[in-house]
Structures are given as structure tokens and as C-alpha cells.
A and B are shown apart, each in its own frame.
Chain A
């Protein structure tokens, strides 16, 4: 049995694993050919301050259990799932009988079933996912941090007169996965975050809001409230007095916090679930040129301390590093066990398991490695163009690649950022967008689980006045 205790563990850790294994055994005794249990415990804290006054305090914890049972039948495996917040003996019995009853009505599917025992495992060693210190600050000090971040933003400029507040939040979680083929393991994770969202008023009376944040797994790695407030204020002020620009085609520069959403679209396009059913424009494109030859995109679940890191995926497979695109060539899809079987490929350890249903697919730490141009050098190469600071809506069609979203930002003139632009859209097709990435910045930073340096993309249409 691949039972492993975390570097940072305690007594309840192994208790919870034992409980999950017990429920798996109970489901097998009740008639399941195979069974899989996920147990989740978590707690959260949130303090919100607005205009210097405490507005909201929230503090609670909860837990949940999800069960999947498998029944071998003629023509394949039946599967069904149940979930609940009731971990009592009676609740568990109900969970098991319900799942078995449901499984009998599902269709036999030859591709369904738990992974082979040999594929289970976890990344060993301390991955830096859990720090007890996220709750170490006394509550009044957490409130004070939120207040200081907001106050720093409000103090920057008289045009900042209102605020959507400052907030401090923290959470810890404990996740256990166990199945009847011998996998049983768990990990803890922690999170804390500090943010503020100031509101500025422009010359016409129009208001603009932006925000900035810091988040970390340990409180010691959180940025200072003052630095967050200053950055939030800078971002808000630069949006003031925006105008619409005429409809035209110009180069568009995506700073890291916006460029990462383009990478997110790529992860969606290589999602095995869309690939095997032909619902992605990248279906069948393995080995083909799908991006500019300078583009490499990697998904890595093993990088210590990062937000997308986990020791194992939702199927119980160890996470790994997967090169999705290398020098513009599509090298791999993102696959869980089921979609890998459908496509006749190996899983990339990308299963994402919620409490209910079958595992989905997601990226871990998805990134585009840094290039060698500074953001300033990239801007300097643009005579007339658009620098995006906000994208609105989800106008992306993964089947066709059509991409059309609302945007706000700054106009680039002769390599310099000038006036604010708003109420426009940017549009193109993802098939072309990745091929038209002309510049890659050197400013890669893992502020969240998807990270990109600054990118310049040519050939997209701006619709405005």
C-alpha cells in the first residue's frame, strides 16, 4: 500500500487516511468491484475592511466526502458517484448503497475503471504546500493588514476617494484519496492572501476600479500591505479618462497578468476530454506546428511551493512535468486516465477530482518560459498598438478557436504607454493568435498557477468606435 505520511503531518493525518481506506473496504464488501474515496477537510478565514472600517469577518470550517464505485459488467465497467457532508456511520452506509444503485443504471464502458496499480504514486519530499503560519497572526493584526493595504492606496492621489475595500484571507485544506487498488495518500495545503481594490474618479466624473494582491502558501512570503496598496493605486489611476479608439488591426501587448489567460485557453484546447470528442481546434494536431517556433509551453505539477503543485493527481498518479508545446510543435495533450485510454496514450497526471462525479482535467503550473526581452524593449518595438490591462467576458469558442473579448488598457504610441482605452473588443482566432506571438518578455513570475511573461501578438482586430 502506497501510504505515505507528509513531511508536515500530525496524528489526524493518518487517522483520516485510515478512515478513507475503511470506507473503500466497506464499499467493496457491499458489492463494488472497485471503489475510490476522497475526503476533504478545510477551514477559511476572511476579514474585509472598507474605508478604514472593518466590514466583514468570516471564520469557519467544513468537510466533505465523495465516493466512486465501479462494477465490472459484460461489455465494460459501470461507474457512479455520491457525495455528502455527513461522515457518520449511517451517512456512509447511505453513500455506499446510493452509489451502487446508481452504478447499476450507468452504461458499461470498456474504457472506464481505476488506473493500473503500477501507475500510482506521489512526489516524495516536502513540496512546500503547507505552512501552519497562515493563521499565526492574531485576528486584529489580520484586520490591520487589510486596513493598511487599503489606506496605502487611498493615500496615493486625491482622485482616489472611494474603495471596494481591503481584505486578508487564509485557508488550509487537507485532502485524502484512497482506492481499492492500493493507493492511499493525502496532503495538506495552506494559502493566505492580501488585496485591495481602490476606486478613482476621472475628470468627467467616471469611476474606475482596479486591484492588486499578494498570495502565498506562507505568511512570511506575503508582500507588505503598503506595496500592495501602491501598486493597486497605480493600476487604478492609469485607467482614468479612457476613450474608445477606432476599429483597426494593430499589435497588442499582453502583460503577464493578462497573458496568462491566453495560456489558459491553450490548456483548454489541449484538454483530452475535448480532444477525444473532436471538440477542440487542436484535435489530431500532435506533431504539428500550432504556435510560433519560439513558443514552448510547459505544465509542471512538481515545482515546490507553487500554487498548482500537488504530490498526486485526482486519479492517484504522481504529478509530473509535461511539455505541451515545444518550439511551436504540439507535443502532448493534458490527459487523465480515462481520456488517455480513449486516445491510446499515457495519462499526463492531469486528473482533477472534485467531491462528485468522474475526474476532470486541469493544468498544474502552466507556464511559458521567459524570453530575453524586457517589457520596455517589447513596447519600444510598437509604433502604434494596444496594451491590455483588463479582459472582460469569456467569448472563446474552443471548437473553432474563435476569440472575441471585451478589453480595456492603454494606447501605445512610438513605444510609450499613453492614454487609457476602454469599451473596445479584441478578436482573432486562437489558431492564429499562437502563431502570431512575436515577442516574449523576460518577466516570468509564478504569482498564480498559470504564469506567462509579457507577450506581443500581431494580427488581432480591435473593434471600437
Chain B
């Protein structure tokens, strides 16, 4: 099976869906003639032209609102945010309009949009460009949020997101764009709401999403090699809808859970997962649930320090070893 980058996998997904459905179009800052600030949309403008791939001015609230309005007429916009951090200037359009119009219209309208872009820290760009808004957006019923950790997942989830008839927010990661994984050449889809066991284990469940999955896999290697601990790594992939059964199944198997999460700890995705586990699998636990989150401050700039502000394999190992 060929190895391709996370970036190329996304690019292939977009190209395939543009070719498949004439109602799909891409808008965002620098997505067309510039080929994408992170080159995710490279070559698409050249191939599909001005009508299907459109450069916008720097005007997130307007172009996201435009996408929502166009989707009400049946179009399927894929809207790039250069950084998900920029969603904050368009919050009303995302939460009130994309998220609530279906409900407020009594189900008369649906909003089949995708908003996508990177949502991660760790690149030394300061607090304003390093947000991980999956937790605050998934807090809103009416929207869906996915966080692919590998090229394979990125492609399959993106294609499902574009075909979904509800608003789907795809949160990518600039630190993963250049990483490669095996991706089949034939078409495949990954449904939203299905988690994936990235590594089988018996002693502890490391439950993560996005790049924290990769951190967890590295931690699992160390745990096996240096501590004789068999860690299972469960990648949520999709935050909302959530594969609750997969979480409970893994915890019932290993009886221990350490949640690894690049969110800040307060009201994070892992806080929700912890609540679900204690409510539904309390008796299966042999130890308290532990979390490894981003350290609870705005993202620091200083490169060596930002590395340790995010979850590291070492912090995960430490937390697992410390479990009673």
C-alpha cells in the first residue's frame, strides 16, 4: 500500500469529492491561486477552476456565513480556515447560524457545510494561533466535530464530512501535514462516530484524539519496552458524534484509563470522556481516571517550553506508571 502524507490524503479527498459532486466548492483564504497556506488545496484551483475553488479576502465571518447561506440552497461548501483559531471572529456564524438554524426552523433547513483547517498548538506561533476548539464547538448540539490523527483517517473522514448533511468541522494538525501513512488507492469512507483502536493492549487504555493519539502511541512503545506495561491506544477520531461504546469496551478490557488530550484541561474533550467512564464503567475501574492535557495556560511561544506544554510521551508514561 502506498504511503502518502496527511496533507496529500486531504488533498485527494477534496479532489475526489469536487469531481464527484458539482455542488461541492472550496472557499477560504489563499486556497486557490496560492495553493493553500499549508498546501492542502494544492492544484485544485488549476484543475477545477474559479467557480469551484475561490480565494476569499481575510473575512472569516462573511465567508463562513456565505457558506451557510449557500448551503441552505443545497450547495455543499468546504470552507478552509487557515487556522481554526480564526473561527473565533466568526463564532456567531458557526454556532448560531450553522449550528442552530436547523433547530430554529423546526427542521425545515439543513446546513451541509464543512469547515476545515488546522487546530493545534506546538508550532511556536503564540496563544492566538494555537487554539484547539474541538471541545467548545462539540459543546453545541447541531454540529459535528472530527479530529483525524493519520493520513488514512484524514481522507476517509473528510470524504464522509463532505457527504454529511449536517455541519461538520474537521480539525487537522499542521504538525501532521508532512507525516506519511499507508493509504489505499481505492476509494473508502470512514463514518463519523467510529473510534479506532490504534494499538491493542491489556493493562491500560490511553484514550486520545488528533495528534495526542500519536503521542499516546509513542508512550505505549516506551511503556512496553521499559515498564512491561501493555497499553491500548484508542483514537476517538470523531468527537461528536462520539463512539461511546468503543471507550467503554476498552476500559472494561483494561480497567484503567489515562486520557491524553491537547485541549486545556477545563471543560475539555477528556473531561467529557471521564464523565462518561465514571458514569457507565465505574465498577470496571481498578484505578482513578487520569488525564494528560495541555498545561493550563495560554500557549507559550518559547519553542522548547511549548513542547512541554503539550502532552509528551514522557508525561503520559509518568502518569501511567503512577497509577495504583
Chains A and B bind each other? no
